[in-house]
């Protein structure tokens, strides 16, 4: 997760969206620590960013970057996500370790 100023956060969101044909965001409250912004590109790639100043700052950064914020995880958005091979490998290791 990336941390930094609002300007850096907005720039990172813009860069991701531009590199993946656009993006949508889901903002998750992480308590006093801030908010997690999960970005899903139109091509299925995804990443996350961290807004230490909370959900209001996360929404403002997405708005400034021109990225639409979804209110919750919609089925269509989840189906659009493509997990990387590294993520699949790490998930399989976790289940095998249990």
Give residue-wise pLDDT tens across range 30-73: 998 999 998 988 888 888 899 999 999 999 999 999 999 987 66
More confident residue, 30 or 86: 30
Instruction: Report yes or no on 55 lying in a domain.
Output: yes
Q: List the Cα angle 3/31/81 in 5-degree steps.
A: 65
Between β-strands 35-41 and 68-70, what pairing exists: parallel, antiparallel or unpaired? unpaired
Contacts 24+ apart (CB under 8 A), 69-77: 69/24, 69/25, 69/26, 69/27, 70/24, 70/25, 70/26, 72/26, 73/26, 77/24, 77/26, 77/40
Instruction: Report yes or no on 16 lying in a domain.
Output: yes
Return the pLDDT at 16: 92
The domain containing residue 40 runs over which residues? 6-97
Provide the domain count of the chain. Answer: 1
Instruction: Report yes or no on 1 lying in a domain.
Output: no
Instruction: Report yes or no on 59 lying in a domain.
Output: yes
């Amino acid at each position: 997760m990336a941390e930094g100023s609002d300007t850096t956060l907005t720039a990172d969101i813009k860069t991701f969206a531009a590199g993946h044909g656009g993006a949508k965001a889901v903002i998750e409250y992480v308590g006093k620590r801030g908010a997690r912004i999960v970005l899903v590109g139109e091509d299925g790639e995804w990443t996350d960013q961290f807004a230490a100043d909370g959900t209001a700052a996360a929404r403002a950064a997405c708005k400034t970057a021109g990225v639409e914020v979804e209110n919750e995880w919609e089925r269509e958005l989840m189906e659009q996500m493509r997990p990387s091979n590294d993520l699949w490998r790490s998930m399989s290791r976790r289940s095998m370790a249990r």
